[in-house]
Chain A
Amino acid sequence: MKKKDDKSRRKFLRYTFGAGLGTLIGVPLISNSFAQEGKPLSGDKIKLLTTDGKVIEVDKGELKNMASYAHPAIDKEARKGLPNRKFVMVIDLSRCKNARACVESCQYAHQLRPEQEFMKVLKMQDTEKTAPYWMPKPCFHCDNATCVDVCPVYATYKRDDGLVLVDSNRCIGCKYCMVACPYEARVFHWKEPFRKEEFEGMDYSPETSVPVKQGTVGKCDFCPDLARNDQLPHCATACPEGVIYFGDYNEDTVTNGYETHRLSELIEKKSAYRYLPHYGTEPNVYYLPPVDRIYPFEETKNS
């Protein structure tokens, strides 16, 4: 059931500028007066919506990624989670066309190197006779998370709000969680952190997973610092097709920024499913099957 503009149930839509732009242009980009120094103009124009409602055209080369961090909790507070919340994600496979905006915005916000992806977009095919489809794959934040069970020092932990986070200040880098996760959702920081100077002086928080610490494990965190401020995760904001819905299981509501649904109705009416349920991990990511697709499957330049 669509409930467009239902403000009372759409706390997540209060994330202002970034969400609107992200929906329009695909990645959380902010054109600025403020173009990146030394970056050449590409010749490709892109339309943007300004804060005062005007549509302007700018060169792609003038765009600058702006990851925002919304006062994340640190230390003990970051281990508790938000009270009375249980975060959940719904991914509509019929809409994904591998634009990879989710991947790139996530990489930018989480200080990842180009080869590192917390959010992956996989090319899937259920049988040889069925059409392939694109599948965005974040961490599933399982209720019975194997990674939490195997971590010898509780660097990986489950919060009251359902999120599974990694505390890099505690991680010993044994990589057991990476081997144990049935969804291969984890990434090891083998190399020196990317864009190190940009994050210097910033307090580390498991809610933002930055600044990255070499020799430790990282993964998709559902951007709890943004959720703490009623904002959507970077990937959901960035997706130009509205593939990714984020919400609260307890409120039975998910939104992708411009559509809001009851979670229970989506699950029932669109036959939502969770991945590899036989492992008993109880993931908190639901998939809407790749049926009635908006776009036919296409190999993209990103694939």
Chain B
Amino acid sequence: MQFARTSLAVATAVAAATLLAACGSGFDDDGDDAGSEATGATEGGGSLTVMIGSSGEAETVAVQDATSRWAAETGNEVEVIPAQDLVQQLQQGLAGGNPPDVFYVSPDRFRMLAEGGSLYPYGDQIDDADDIYQSLRDAFTYEDELYCAPKDGGVHALVIDTEAWTAAGLTEADYPQDWDGLAAAAQALTADGRVGLAFTGDYNPVGTFMLAGGGFFVNDDQTEVTADTPENLATLQYIKQNMDAGTFAFAPNIDAAWGGEALGSGKSAMTIEGAWIVGALQNDFPERQWTAVPMPAGPGGQAATAFTNCWGIAADSENQAAAVDLVNFLAGSEQQQTFAEAFGPIPSRASLADWNAETFPEKAAFAEGMDNARSQVAVPGFESVLADFNTQLEGMAAGTVTPEQALQTLQTNGEALLAQE
């Protein structure tokens, strides 16, 4: 017994020492090398790690295939790490000075990473960058410098249950063009146990309505909060009126986790989602007949929120030249077509718009109007402010918060955050 305990203690000590050594190795990086000069050689022999926030097996396999094809061509090695929680794992890598070389970056986290000097800005090295939609490039531009190549992109669209649509006596000519048309269609589609339009009750779909209403959460360069404006108030009042009429609803209020579930389960006849709904409907609700049309225009014209991710390259990467080469391969037209076929993202290149519309007619609407789109707010810390706005929206649906109060709270919280910057 005595012996067993001693050996256990020794084993613990050894394990602890090993762990320490492993943890410690991250902290000895020698400062900031985020210059414009790329580190490492372009050709051969390098090894890269690519961390992705994968939507599933299909995406992981597609990225692995693509990177190994590139690796075979160039003589490099690539390891793809599908992160369980990309935000957290990436943050750990950065804090430890040992980040992956290439990783997904979403617009709402982009500015935090760019400000923190964690991203290597390689916008000037992207092949044919002008071909990438302007709104997507804007999402990854900080202080007039494009930092990374958008890997895909798409906007919110109005997704319609076509069976319900025809059953209500509507035709393709009736697809709503403006907000009045949307309200009328929602009314026609509302039936017992089904609302006309349901969408996730958070800031994303509401932000899309705000854009069409001629407003948004922040101004163009994201330096001022523009929440409490007459345009936004009119937008919220429009939503509120239709909710009171029982023709619009937030998905959680009709017992659906998100818009896709509301539409798929038949609890709503229309919803507002991005291209990710395609796969979800195919998997979970294969019986549902649907189509997607561009968002109807509001008082401020036709507009929607754009969703995208880019291939970020770490400022601490020792192999930036090879990483840029890999990203140019992955974000090139040919590879984006392969990805679109494999797991369904919408290409970020305008030159592929026609190909996308022909090959995947059901996804065409998610790529239309990319030029009028805006991406999510990128101000660091805005996540908590918008999370609070979600709570205000919940209150608005429940009737405890007025649209005015919701916008005023958002304005106050947003201004307080920007004042800290």
Bound pair: A and B?
Answer: no
Interface residues of A (CB under 8 A from B): none
